[in-house]
A and B are shown apart, each in its own frame.
Chain A
């Protein structure tokens, strides 16, 4: 909670909840050393409503972090702050400059061909097109480079979104429930793809999800958010690929669900149907 001296451009803050926010968070973020995210006392409130209340969090390069929590606990708000789509009310944040976001829906620009969606503003030359092809090849869509987004399936579109995010070779990759709209089969394949790409490029990843199993399948750390605070920060040490039926896996899962049940009264840690509790609450 005390002022850190690593980044002088940012403003230190102390007050967690009371009173209107005075300090506006600066996004003059510079990556210093290994961490790609360092949050200190980060708070966000809309008027009287406090969404995030003094969040401290550090994510290192190459670390895969999953963020769980009931709807309305500020998961998406936190991701939006990290993605520079919103400003925090107070606190300080140091965020890697090269940050990419994969959104819940693909958010492709229908009027641009697939490869252009991947490249976006990053150059117009022939090199850009080749690089886009390479990025698309990584997600298995090399043949769709010239296609229009409207001709893609949901899974394909989301993979283009992933290629777009990786194209910048980000130090921090933010994933906002990117598999939510996919069917089970496609979802599974997309998860494998994300994992493979993460292992290949080693960015810091922050995955916002509703799905406990998904978080345990993918992440090194599972953070449970509730009431604007970090309720739990659980390390998952099982080596990958992980077996969802193993006792070890299920033990961790129960632990996570237990934490969740504290922040969300509708969740019982023993009920198997509550794997995707977000949709129940």
Chain B
């Protein structure tokens, strides 16, 4: 043990027998001194690469390597934001688009969750609707826009319905597989210890299927954001999809890129939210993965 301490093993390094410790340490685990030195350039690299890319991008614009029609430079995109902000489109777009995406995600995701849980638990339910759902899943929802106009009109309903359609399947599939992936032996535990079906679902099934369920919601959130572009083709006067569609109609490449960057930012937000959720909902996994 003393040998280890003098070598400066970082806390938490698993130590087995002292005899093997020395070789193990030299081979795999960097000393505490090197760790700090290494982490700095890594962080720098992380920031440096995108920065260099943006610089190169701006340079190619300034030096006219590519026409601004093909790829407008970063400054042009900043200008596009300024323009959208001045008119008020950007401020109007975010709340309305997020509300559409959020409502659709909530309804679609909940429906997918319920369908997935029921199909995961009941073979009868699975036989009843899994095949039709699998068929529906493969339909590109963008192709459904005209039909949704016929079915749901041109108001908010059709837009939200489209997003519901986009977000229902990721949650359904991942929930279903999450539950089916649970070891049957654990369900037997519930039976031998006289747990009711509901208690088994609450204490065993849902917690263990939660990682899959969260993956489903993560995908669904992405699908809901993408669904906005299709949904906001239908009679919209505001929204990120509306901005993109109008820009496409009037050849504003800079605004299209600006809109895409908004999507990227939203995707990042979704990722952060889901990571936080995972930390809150899956503490038992966090310990396992060592954060």
A residues with CB within 8 A of B: 83-85, 99-101, 103, 105, 107, 109-113, 116, 120-122, 148-151, 164, 168
Pick the contact of B199: A110, A113, A121 (CB < 8 A): A121
Q: Which of B190, B194, B196 has the most CB of A within 10 A?
A: B194
Could you tell me the dominant secondary structure of chain B's interface residues?
helix
Contact B189 A107 (CB under 8 A): yes
Interface positions, chain B 192-220, Cβ under 8 Å from A, are 192-196, 199, 203-204, 207-208, 210
The 7 closest A-B pairs by CB, nearest first: A111-B207, A121-B195, A148-B284, A121-B199, A150-B288, A101-B192, A83-B192
User: Chain A's nearest CB lies how many Å from the CB of B199?
Assistant: 4
Answer yes or no: B191 CB below 8 A from chain A CBs. yes
Answer yes or no: B36 CB below 8 A from chain A CBs. no
Contact A120 B195 (CB under 8 A): yes
Interface positions, chain B 265-285, Cβ under 8 Å from A, are 282-284
Answer yes or no: B186 CB below 8 A from chain A CBs. yes
Give Cα A151 to B193, complex, Å: 24
Closest residue of chain B to A102, judged by CB?
Answer: B192
Residues of A within 8 A of B287 (CB): 148, 150-151
Residues of A within 8 A of B79 (CB): none
A-B pairs with beta carbons under 8 Å apart, 11 shown: A83-B192, A84-B191, A85-B191, A101-B192, A109-B203, A109-B204, A120-B199, A121-B199, A148-B283, A150-B287, A151-B288
Closest residue of chain B to A174, judged by CB?
Answer: B192
User: Chain A's nearest CB lies how many Å from the CB of B277?
Assistant: 15
Residues of B within 8 A of A105 (CB): 185
Given contacts A120-B203, A122-B193, 17 further A-B contacts (CB under 8 A): A83-B192, A84-B192, A85-B188, A100-B193, A107-B186, A109-B189, A109-B203, A109-B204, A109-B208, A112-B203, A112-B284, A116-B203, A120-B195, A148-B283, A150-B287, A150-B288, A168-B193
Band of interface residues on B: 20 to 34
Residues of B within 8 A of A116 (CB): 203
Residues of A within 8 A of B199 (CB): 120-121
Give Cα A20 to B7, complex, Å: 71
Residues of B within 8 A of A100 (CB): 192-193
Q: How many residue pairs at the A-B interface have CB separations less than 8 Å?
A: 63
User: Chain B's nearest CB lies how many Å from the CB of A157?
Assistant: 13
Contact A109 B192 (CB under 8 A): no
User: Chain B's nearest CB lies how many Å from the CB of A80?
Assistant: 9
Contact A150 B191 (CB under 8 A): no
Closest residue of chain A to B195, judged by CB?
Answer: A121
User: Chain B's nearest CB lies how many Å from the CB of A200?
Assistant: 21
Contact B288 A111 (CB under 8 A): no
Contact A149 B192 (CB under 8 A): no
Give Cα A269 to B189, complex, Å: 37
Q: Which of B192, B208, B287, B288 has the most CB of A within 10 A?
A: B192
Residues of A within 8 A of B282 (CB): 111
Closest residue of chain B to A97, judged by CB?
Answer: B194
User: Chain B's nearest CB lies how many Å from the CB of A234?
Assistant: 28
User: Chain A's nearest CB lies how many Å from the CB of B17?
Assistant: 15
Closest residue of chain A to B196, judged by CB?
Answer: A121
Give Cα A2 to B287, complex, Å: 57
User: Chain B's nearest CB lies how many Å from the CB of A132?
Assistant: 13
B 174-193 binary contact with A (CB < 8 Å = 1; else 0) = 00000000010110111111
Give Cα A109 to B188, complex, Å: 11
Contact B186 A109 (CB under 8 A): yes
Q: Which of B190, B193, B203, B210 has the most CB of A within 10 A?
A: B193
Residues of B within 8 A of A83 (CB): 192
User: Chain B's nearest CB lies how many Å from the CB of A125?
Assistant: 15
Residues of A within 8 A of B194 (CB): 121
